[in-house]
Amino acid sequence: MAKPLRLVHYIYLTFAFSVIYTDAGTHRNFTYVCDPARYAQLGLDIKSLPFCDKKLSYDVRARDLVRQLTLHEKVRQLGNHAYGVPRLGIPEYEWWSEALHGLSNVGPGTFFDNSVPHATSYPTPILTTASFNESLWNTIGKAISTEARALYNLGHAGLTFWSPTINVARDPRWGRIIETPGEDPFVVGTYAMNYVRGLQDVEGTESNKYKDLNSRPLKVSACCKHFTAYDVDNWKGIERYNFDARVTEQDLVETFNRPFQMCVQNGDVSSVMCSYNRVNGIPACADHKLLKETIRQDWDLHGYIVADCDSVEVMIKDHKWLNVDNETAVSYTLQAGLDLDCGVYYTDNVENAVKHGKVREGDVDQSLQYLYVVLMRLGIFDGQPQYNSLGINDVCTSAHIELAGEAAREGIVLLKNDNGILPLATERNKTLAVVGPHANASVTMIGNYAFAAYNKGSPCRYSTPLNGFSSYGSVNYAAGCSNVKCVDGNLIGAAVEAAKIADATIIVAGIDLSIEAESLDRLDILLPGKQTDLINQVADAAKGPVVLVIMSAGGVDISFAKSNPKIHAILWAGYPGAEGGQAIADVIFGKYNPGGRLPLTWYQADYVDKIPLTSLQLRPDDSKGYPGRTYKFYDGPTVFPYGYGLSYTKFIYTLKAAPSKWSKKLNKFQHCRDLPYKNGTIKPSCPAILIDDLRCHKKFTFDIEVKNVGNRDGDEVVLIYSQPPLGILGTHIKQLIKFQRVSVAARTSKLVHFAINICQGLGIVDSNGNAVLPSGSHTIIVGDHQIVHPIQLTYN
């Protein structure tokens, strides 16, 4: 979102921010719109305004409000900055706030100043995802929405947050992996669902308990973005603003759209944002099939669809789509189902578009209806008394700061630990060489959509790696490079000297937003500049054990370190949030036993030569030499595979309960469908049935005993994959279908219960984009093949 690298937008944004400081902040002199005292003061008769009548449904009230507006008044509510309607006592509202991993100062709806200087900054989503702990994802969402309500009460935030980012990280080069929950669509969707529920749900009115989802109260409104097939930012001159994603229906259904579907259907999110790119020629924000048919009708969104900021302008000026002018562009996007424009194109152009007959006023009314219902569900019209008491004392609480630390500890992944060198012993006061360009990281740890330097505000506090290690020994610091680009080796000597005399050496290296960022994709997946030299020279010279910590979002080819016997241990810390430094030190010194798993495949460096970033194709393609993408379709060599992660203890799995077959008697509405098979495979007489036709509600049990056979307590992430019957062409190698993180005390065991819907667990998406359940011998694979269990499926 936002286009800060483009001067014209930068000016626009800067200007907007300065205006908004007064708009969103000091001007909000009311607690809720339909306060009778407020209307009395405005000299208006509230009794004559049905939209304030609490006895009516939100739908009816919103319709009444829209009915009362003139066309001119209507269009002034269609931008991220809604101007309000003074005549009817409707205040202005700024829709754009961000809460990707904590409240952010990016987006004019939320701002910080001396009275509200901080908010809690959690690890970036890519690291929090690595915890594979659904309840953690949900708990963070709840904590953030509590701070959001507090800031709203203080006049420092709106209640609509354009987070989370749930695009599938399909390629390691993409610059925005930091914002995502990784490469697996099911995990991304599961993260989205939990995080959105954490942000949105008011206790007791969760979506599975509530009858009328159009009136379900919201704590804050979340937004799943960016829809869809958006995974190119700026690569070899191709920018998201002119990128046309060519993508098959199969890949859309199976990979790119799946998290959005889960976000809408399982998370009941109240907003979806469309992306800048085109999808098969049509700008995503102008695509009727994607917005109205898929999100609105098929998935039944209860909420509004918003454009990524200035998408309408991008459509006209960058895509030059159909050479449309302003009025035609806004009429197309409105008709496609785009309700709210982040920008000024709707506000400035819709009125004339209606007057010139390019779009019906009814389309405008429909969009306003969706928008006002969301504001009503938030309590902006009637208040939400249960949150009234939240204020500055609910921001940066010790519980929230501790949760940020907990998330970092749970996410950190142990990648190498030769001879159990970690955890380092704590019994005496050690000298520690803490070196590398991230040894004193602070802002790097909070990544993007946190506290951008161009606005006020910062995390509650920072715990840098130096701070963290200082609690375990006396620290000798040498950066080794002046920044991650590490263009010259001048500073390496000092780091080497520090390592020579230290009892243990910790090298904190990696990349940052100068290498992988919004509007900045990577060209290679190596450590930049002389970082490799720094690490090898320090490791060579070190007196004690050497631990390498990598900060990055996308994978980095660190094969050299993996195979270097002088580098004894390696950790991946993502971008671990404001409490990251202490979390890293606590893991290295064994105060916390790591259990995180990589949410991405870490490819070898030559991967980038095999397939252009601009190809969205997931499946391998021999004719083009494409090797396939993500663990679902790529089975070549890796530096570390998806789901990889070590512990300081050892776990053993035993399968306790699982079915070995499932057969289904077909009724006359369930027709066999063909699937392509490899030559030489015996094709079943009934290869597959459409999942929509099967209506499978039945779940099968899959129970695993997880035994901790070591002498340390630890957390284990149990990953359950399914593999389709061998011989089916063009399907995935395997797919993750369930996961659970469990704590198991030393020398004890825990029974982990999974209930798996057979269609969700064993289904595949065929080449036409239909979800089907194939017959034949499926295989359930647990973790790294610790359990391999066949299930025979037959139709008769």
C-beta separation of 790 from 777 below 8 A: yes
C-beta separation of 504 from 545 below 8 A: yes
Count the Cβ atoms, other than its own, within 10 Å of residue 48: 8
> 741 has which bridge partners?
717
Q: Is 121 in the site for ligand NAG (CB under 6 A)?
A: no
Nearest to 442 by CA among 579, 554, 556: 579
Q: Of the listed pieces 112-120, 351-359, 575-583, 737-745, which binds ligand NAG according to CB under 6 A?
A: 737-745
Least distance in Å: CB of 348 to ligand NAG? 3
Token reading at 287: 């695509």
Q: Is 442 in the site for ligand NAG (CB under 6 A)?
A: yes
Least distance in Å: CB of 666 to ligand NAG? 28
> 526 has which bridge partners?
none
Least distance in Å: CB of 734 to ligand NAG? 21
For tokens 């203080």, the residue is 154
Least distance in Å: CB of 730 to ligand NAG? 10
Residue 47, classed as helix, strand or coil, is helix
688 contacts: CB under 8 Å, gap ≥ 6: 672, 673, 674, 675, 766, 772, 773, 774, 775
Residue 792, classed as helix, strand or coil, is strand
Q: Is 31 in the site for ligand NAG (CB under 6 A)?
A: no
Q: Is 623 in the site for ligand NAG (CB under 6 A)?
A: no
Q: d(Cα 450, Cα 452) in Å, to the nearest integer?
A: 6
Question: Contacts with ligand NAG in 506-545 (CB under 6 A)?
Answer: none
Q: Is 681 in the site for ligand NAG (CB under 6 A)?
A: no
C-beta separation of 788 from 702 below 8 A: no
Closer of 184 and 410 to ligand NAG (Cβ)? 410
Q: Of the listed pieces 135-143, 196-204, 606-614, 788-796, which binds ligand NAG according to CB under 6 A?
A: 135-143
Q: d(Cα 213, Cα 447) in Å, to the nearest integer?
A: 35
Q: Is 715 in the site for ligand NAG (CB under 6 A)?
A: yes
Out of 68, 265, 366, 440, point to the residue binding ligand NAG (CB under 6 A).
440
Out of 139, 536, 760, 777, point to the residue binding ligand NAG (CB under 6 A).
139
Residues for the chain: how many in total? 796
Contact pattern from residue 291 through residue 330 relative to ligand NAG, giving x for each residue in contact according to CB under 6 A and a dash for the rest: -----------------------------------x----
Token reading at 206: 């969760």
376 contacts: CB under 8 Å, gap ≥ 6: 58, 61, 62, 215, 382
Selected catalytic residue, list 308, 382, 503, 715: 308
Closer of 474 and 685 to ligand NAG (Cβ)? 474
C-beta separation of 175 from 516 below 8 A: yes
Q: Is 191 in the site for ligand NAG (CB under 6 A)?
A: no
Out of 22, 27, 399, 768, point to the residue binding ligand NAG (CB under 6 A).
27
Out of 208, 563, 660, 679, point to the residue binding ligand NAG (CB under 6 A).
679
> 520 has which bridge partners?
517
What burial class does residue 360 get, using C-beta atoms within 10 Å of its C-beta: 0-12 exposed, 13-18 middle, 19+ buried?
Answer: middle
Q: Is 345 in the site for ligand NAG (CB under 6 A)?
A: yes
Closer of 478 and 793 to ligand NAG (Cβ)? 478
Closer of 175 and 473 to ligand NAG (Cβ)? 473
Out of 233, 348, 521, 586, point to the residue binding ligand NAG (CB under 6 A).
348
Q: Is 583 in the site for ligand NAG (CB under 6 A)?
A: no
Closer of 743 and 768 to ligand NAG (Cβ)? 743
Q: Of the listed pieces 482-490, 505-513, 687-695, 741-749, which binds ligand NAG according to CB under 6 A?
A: 741-749
Contact pattern from residue 140 through residue 179 relative to ligand NAG, giving x for each residue in contact according to CB under 6 A and a dash for the rest: ----------------------------------------
> Count residues contacting ligand NAG (CB under 6 A)?
25
Q: d(Cα 18, Cα 81) in Å, to the nearest integer?
A: 13
Least distance in Å: CB of 214 to ligand NAG? 29
Answer yes or no: 231 catalytic: no
Asked if residue 385 has a cis previous peptide bond (ω within 30° of 0), the answer is: no
What burial class does residue 768 get, using C-beta atoms within 10 Å of its C-beta: 0-12 exposed, 13-18 middle, 19+ buried?
Answer: exposed
Closer of 27 and 87 to ligand NAG (Cβ)? 27
Closer of 41 and 768 to ligand NAG (Cβ)? 41
Q: Is 56 in the site for ligand NAG (CB under 6 A)?
A: no
> 715 has which bridge partners?
743
Burial 320-337 (b: 16+ CB within 10 A, else e): ebeebebbbbbbbbbbbb
Out of 14, 26, 41, 701, point to the residue binding ligand NAG (CB under 6 A).
41
Residue 759 half-sphere exposure toward CB, CA atoms < 13 A: 15
Q: Is 477 in the site for ligand NAG (CB under 6 A)?
A: yes
Q: d(Cα 721, Cα 725) in Å, to the nearest integer?
A: 13
Q: Are strands 735-744 and 569-572 parallel, antiparallel or unpaired?
A: unpaired
Q: In the bound complex, which residue of the shown chain has the CB atom lying closest to ligand NAG?
A: 348
Q: Max CA-CA distance within the chain?
A: 83
18 contacts: CB under 8 Å, gap ≥ 6: none
CA 258, 262, 266 angle in degrees (round to 5)?
165
Token reading at 425: 């012993």
Q: Is 474 in the site for ligand NAG (CB under 6 A)?
A: yes
Host H or E run for residue 603: strand 602-603
Closer of 729 and 788 to ligand NAG (Cβ)? 729
Q: Is 742 in the site for ligand NAG (CB under 6 A)?
A: yes
Least distance in Å: CB of 278 to ligand NAG? 20
Closer of 26 and 663 to ligand NAG (Cβ)? 26
Q: Is 614 in the site for ligand NAG (CB under 6 A)?
A: no
Closer of 212 and 325 to ligand NAG (Cβ)? 325
Cite the active site residues.
308
The residues of the shown chain that bind ligand NAG, judged by CB under 6 A, are: 27, 29, 41, 133, 135-136, 139, 326, 344-345, 348-349, 406, 410, 429, 440, 442, 466, 474, 477, 679, 715, 741-743
